[in-house]
Structure 1
Amino acid sequence: MSRGTSWVAVLVATAAVLTACSADPGGSGTDASHAKRSIVRVVEQTTESIGGGWSVYSGPAAEHCERAGAAPGARWSSIVERTAPDGVDPAADVERVEQAWNELEITTERFASGSADPLLGVRGAGGPVTSIGFNAFPQRYSVTAESTCFDGSVAELRGAGSS
């Protein structure tokens, strides 16, 4: 290899490393479009696991997030909801959602209110999300999710309508 080709190889390798580092200084491996696709996909898989007609309450919307040892970043949040139809089994729906999330490597924790007729749900974290929650309340079901934090400007994402 000639001296000229050696320098080109070094420059190409250096550029590749710098590009990888600058694209994700927080080490999350996620950019804005990937995080948005991931959160939309997780919410869709969650709602499909129990069926019904869901409507978007909010999002995906860009919001600020903090990363340990890194500059503040951005994440996507999304909320969908539906009226719980008569005759649903909230406990069975919580189980279906929990199974769907476990397949996505989301760690789950069920919860219930302390009343005689408890309100049920499950929350999770990990995999493609920072946090996600499913409330199986008799009047209204809802899914609230936040993507992983990534390097980005919330102002730019809101202004650009990022895809």
Structure 2
Amino acid sequence: MTTALTVSGCSGNTTDPSDAKETIVDLVEESTRAVGGAWTLYRGPAAEVCEQPGGGEGAHFVYILEREGADGPAPAADIRTVERLWRSKGITTERFQSGSADPLTGVNGRGGPVTTVGFDAYPQGYTMTGISKCSDGDVKELRREE
């Protein structure tokens, strides 16, 4: 289970690829530590093409960790924990909830040190997804280095 975050471009000053990668990995891992439990790598950190502020191509990094199952009433508390952490880092947050009898819940964030970040707190399991700021890197070259 993964939430796709759509990014139409990146804004702000250019970023070094290694800094962009380190920042998103650090934020996602700090977020999962705050929630607790055993998280596993789903994807990344993987370089993908993004649009630079001036219109040229750059690279951002996608990093996704997953955790099986939720702990009873913990999803609401875990969402609050993640939301507080992200807001402390200058990330604007927005909660979401489906309209079903057993709603799917979570929180998405934008800005601050990242382009987007998301926390899906579903009964079947948790997913933490982060997309770094756009950097000056060449995706083909960065993928060869991975």
TM-score (norm 1): 0.79
CA distance in 2, matches of 1:85, 1:125: 25
Residue 118 in 1 paired to residue 97 in 2? no
- 1:2-151 → structure 2 map (5 Å cutoff): 28-151=13-136
Counterpart residue number, 2:6:
none
Aligned equivalent of 1:15: none
Identity of aligned residues (%): 54
Q: Identify, as 1 or 2, the structure richer in strand.
A: 2
Unaligned 5+ runs, structure 2:
1-10
- Whole-angstrom CA distance in 2 between matches of 1:84 and 1:98: 20
Cα separation, 2, equivalents of 1:148 and 1:80: 18
C-alpha distance in 2 between matches for 1:54 and 1:157 = 25
Question: SS at 2:33's partner residue?
Answer: helix
Paired residue secondary structure (1:99):
helix
Question: Which is helix-richer, 1 or 2?
Answer: 1
SS in 1 for 2:137: coil
TM-score by length of 2: 0.88
Q: Specify whether residues 154 and 30 from structure 1 end up closer, same or farther in structure 2 by C-alpha distance, changes over 3 A only.
A: same
Partners of 1:28 and 1:148 within 8 A in 2 = no
Give me the whole-angstrom Cα distance separating, in 2, the residues matched to 1:30 and 1:65. Answer: 12
Q: Which residue type is aligned with residue 66 of structure 2?
A: E
Residues 94/35 of structure 1: CA separation in 2 closer, same or farther (3 Å cut): same
Cα deviation 1:68-124 (Å, max 9, x = unaligned): 433111000011001024435211111101001011111000000011221110000
Shift of residue 127, structure 1, vs aligned partner: 1.1
- Give 4+ residue runs of structure 1 displaced > 6 Å after superposition: none
With a CA cutoff of 8 Å and minimum separation of 6, indicate the structure with the bigger relative contact order: 2
Whether the aligned pair in 1 keeps the contact of 2:70 and 2:126 (CA below 8 Å) is no
Aligned mates of 2:118, 2:70 — CA distance in 1: 20
